[in-house]
Amino acid sequence: MSLRYLDDVAFAARWADRRLARMPMGRARLQEELLATGCPEHIVHATLRATYRKVSERDLAMQVVAMSSRATSVQTLGRVARLLNQRGFDEDTIETALGMVNGEW
């Protein structure tokens, strides 16, 4: 008989939602962090699918960009690109986010 004191699925979902609310990040970074909590890989992959159905990586990347400096220099765009990369966003998402920002400036 299982008392279900530990529910890895519920833990992973709550943890991912809270983590993204505090620090928007891409799938790769969130996957690393969830695996580091000790969640089984199959639960991590299911959590990632569910999480990124609710919120797009592009929207999260734009949140990161909005939080960063608003300067228009190429150096700043490079810095923002590195920040997005560190946060685990893929190259396509980074290019899309920077293109959207560059078009706004």
pLDDT tens-digit series, residues 4-62: 557 899 999 999 999 999 999 999 999 999 999 999 999 999 999 999 999 999 999 99
pTM of the entire predicted model? 0.76
3-state secondary structure of 13: helix
Would you say 81 and 94 are in contact if contact means Cβ atoms under 8 Å apart?
yes
Higher pLDDT, 18 or 105: 18
